[in-house]
Amino acid sequence: MNLLKKTLRVGLVVGIFIAVAVLVSNIWVVRSTRDHVLTDYKLLPDSGVALVLGTSHRLSNGSPNPFFHNRMATAAELYKQGKIIHFIASGDNRTRYYNEPVEMQKALIILGVPAEAITLDYAGLRTLDSIVRCKEIFGQTNIIIITQPFHSYRALFISNYFQVSAVALVANEPSQEAALRVYLREYLARTKAILDLYVLGTGPRHLGDKEPIGI
């Protein structure tokens, strides 16, 4: 019985520590970046370069992913308004059947963005990879990030760490109910981002030759 009590006590302490760590991490990430999260494209400078962060174009049940399609719609509108002249579509390309950058390119072209205004980054396996590669491979240190609000804080936090000057122009989010699982995962991802940056020193999985974007 004493062993059980000790085990429960240790488990409780560990649980409280993790909960506090997640809470503090989220407060830090959001408060340090929220002033750079924009909803009005008119506040953006003209003729910028945007990093569009990838996600699957379909949900696990095969239906269209609203996160993906809202990002593409926002990106295309910024192009039409002259706020963006070039996009880096960065995402996962894990197999021949799963290719986020190509799906982003297809969607953007359908929405009126010319192919020559899109650079594909096939090694954007994580947000950290996308941002570091944007700087180190494509030579961009001043960018506009296109994603949903919940994701934008972490993306900006990572950008700040790697000295990339960035603002986020956020796309619409689906209903709270539909996105609950995504939000919960993001709370943990913010904590992991801090561990990656300040404890583990995690870098991108792939770099390679530089491919500067000439605009």
According to the model, what pLDDT value does residue 183 have? 84
Q: Which residue has the tokens 């059980």?
A: 4
Give the tens place of pLDDT for each residue, 34-62.
999 999 999 998 889 999 999 999 888 88
Per-domain residue ranges of the chain: 2-200
Q: Which residue has the tokens 């997640």?
A: 22
Dihedral of alpha carbons 91, 92, 95, 98, sign: negative
Dihedral of alpha carbons 77, 78, 82, 86, sign: negative
The edge-to-edge listing of strands for the beta sheet with 118-121 is 37-38, 165-170, 142-147, 48-53, 84-90, 118-121
Which of 50, 44, 81 lies closest to 145, judged by CA? 50
CATH 3.40.50.620 fits 2-200, yes or no: yes
According to the model, what pLDDT value does residue 137 have? 96
- Supply 76's token pair: 């295309």
According to the model, what pLDDT value does residue 208 have? 86
Where b means 16+ CB within 10 Å and e means fewer, 28-51 reads ebbeebeebbeeeeeebeeebbbb
According to the model, what pLDDT value does residue 95 have? 78
pLDDT along the chain (215 residues), means of 10: 75 86 95 95 90 91 90 95 96 86 97 97 95 96 94 97 95 69 89 96 90 83
- Residue 150 phi/psi, 5° resolution? -60, -30
